[in-house]
A and B are shown apart, each in its own frame.
Chain A
């Protein structure tokens, strides 16, 4: 589904991604995690062509990203940013429907898709007529999620979608996201620095450090067979990474 081979990315003199190769399988939720500056957000942006690598190849849907195919490829993926990235001059509804209208979908189709997504993200009809500056942080992220899902994309990219939220809203949205990912069975690539989120949402985790992948594995394998002492250090540094497992056991 997503394939990177020998990708390097520099900003000026600084190389932020070093000769990185990665293959992300279909219909799994993959979390990119690591300390600040490890290159996880850069890696995500390389995957949707917001950044272009100096070396190596990035392919989505078995085709290499080029300036010719980038727009059509992007119309088959969804993207949610940390602050939502909603367009401030458009209402929640206009934000959500922008691309569908641009691509000429029928009004009936758009409206039924909109109500499906509202049920999924638990947003009221009234909220949809508001502008982003009239929405709470949690509502903004839910609208951003609706916008990303509107055209039923094959892949969903999320860059720290919960990063800017207070703990209460964070937990609520995290639970809803978990339900949505399970229901929709999409390929999801999400960046976070929070091990709790990763533990709750990820099928597999890509743990990064200084522009390289340290280990790409399930949470269980990361803890039982760490590839490097750093893996154990990183996992243990996080608050209650096992909380959700304990909850399941109970």
Chain B
């Protein structure tokens, strides 16, 4: 067991340099949220900067507003597109209907520059199918008041935003109680299938046309304007004096219909965000930037590298910490209960929440994903180490004591070898869970197979979902059989079942 821990450490450390990215501090990092419009805008900004000779990368599909805002403040990203309504309600938590100059002043105090609006307003709206609209004759939000039986499906962000469901409900005095939180891209499916009656929309969503949805009028003016804007760090101006004029070239050139068309080209037309952004920039500025669309094999290679990096490092670290914790717990049952309790509680923390907690400490990308995976890998290993040690029969313990072996030698020569099978089983469970959980790395810019899954869900692209899910499943199987082989070679024949060993 101890030999194995050393092995894991050596493997982990020797692989580390392989995965270090080539990005330098000079690279401008553009962030985007995990919905199509944000990704398109992120792509437009990135390509625009690149075609003007700046070194820029796009960290796309990051977790949510709070995650991006914290990353921006920390300098983990340098700029990202957001919306005025979101800035007022989510970031500044200020009075509604502030003017753009007011917002600029407030953000400047935190070292962030707010550029002028891009030119379109993507506000929240509520939508129902044509059939539902006719059945209940729904035209405006206040019409909903008469039908408490309607069931609503909202994005999780909308469920608890300042300007989201709670204040909408209070503003209109809505009586509905069947309200569920779900992913925006799945909400359309639910609406189409009839399992929910009403969803929240972004007014530039491509699906409004595609599904022929009926948008309810905000007759009591609850939703503020959501003008798209770019937020960037002041210190960019020091490193790149031309930055302000570059960004300003992008302002006031979009329109609601243009953005809806671009969204539609990606979501319905199946084009990549990169291509749509490129076409837009070339019509707009007559530029001829080239975009590289990596092929399937290089995409897989990249995501495999990222995924293995996450799994190997976090699992090795978990083994090095969890086995000693389990031993400690087995030797001292009182502390064992406490250790199991703490590790169990960690397991229940939602992954996105854990990632958000860690941004101030670790930023975005690999480190927070590694720490989260490490924490989630502890429980099975600790528990199996503890039970493997506790299950050693009394007469074996007495034998070891009666020989006069000192405590540490008993652990090394007798107890750990006897608990090996149980410990290995715990590590195996952890490893398989870890491979699956590592897909959440994509939420925080650590890449891996989750990237393809996330994009696939967003674009309703089954092939893309499988591009992430199949390798992840294969990797889980590979990990499982590696540990089975390991058990075959390293487990003492005396601990295998009798039939096996007598032959």
Contacts and interface: CB of A to CB of B under 8 A. Distances in A.
Interface stretch (B47-55, B428-436, B444-452, B494-502): B494-502
A150 to B, nearest CB: 10
A73 B404 contact: yes
B234 to A, nearest CB: 64
Contacts of B420: 89
A210 interface: no
Interface string A55-89: 00000000000000011111101010111111111
Contact of B401 (A74, A86, A102, A133): A74
Interface in B403-460: 403-406, 409, 413-414, 417-418, 420
B400 A50 contact: no
Interface residues of A, number: 31
A86 B399 contact: yes
B399 A87 contact: yes
Contacts of B495: 88-89
Interface in A164-196: none
A98 interface: yes
A99 interface: yes
Contacts of A132: 494
A42 interface: no
Nearest to B498: A133
A50 B398 contact: yes
A108 to B, nearest CB: 22
Given A85-B395, A87-B396, A87-B418, A79 B402 contact: yes
A91 interface: yes
Interface in B485-503: 492-495, 498, 501-502
Contacts, number: 75
Given A87-B396, A89-B418, A50 B402 contact: yes
A148 to B, nearest CB: 9
A79 B413 CA distance: 18
A98 B403 contact: yes
A237 to B, nearest CB: 28
Nearest to A81: B395
**B395, B398, B403, B409 — which one has the most chain A CB atoms within 10 A of its CB?**
B403
Nearest to A70: B404
Contacts of A91: 494
Contacts of A50: 398, 401-402
Given A87-B414, A98-B403, A133 B494 contact: yes
A83 B399 CA distance: 11
Nearest to A150: B403
B404 A85 contact: no
Contacts of B409: 102
Given A85-B399, A87-B399, A87-B418, A72 B404 contact: yes
A48 interface: yes
26 contacts: A45-B398, A48-B402, A70-B404, A71-B406, A72-B404, A74-B402, A77-B402, A79-B402, A81-B398, A84-B395, A85-B396, A85-B399, A87-B399, A87-B494, A88-B492, A88-B495, A89-B417, A89-B492, A98-B413, A99-B404, A102-B409, A131-B493, A131-B494, A134-B501, A134-B502, A157-B402
Q: Sort A-B residue pairs by CB-CB distance and give the 9 closest, nearest first.
A: A131-B494, A74-B404, A85-B399, A89-B492, A79-B402, A75-B404, A85-B395, A71-B404, A89-B417
Interface of A: 45, 48, 50, 70-75, 77, 79, 81-91, 98-99, 102, 131-134, 147, 157
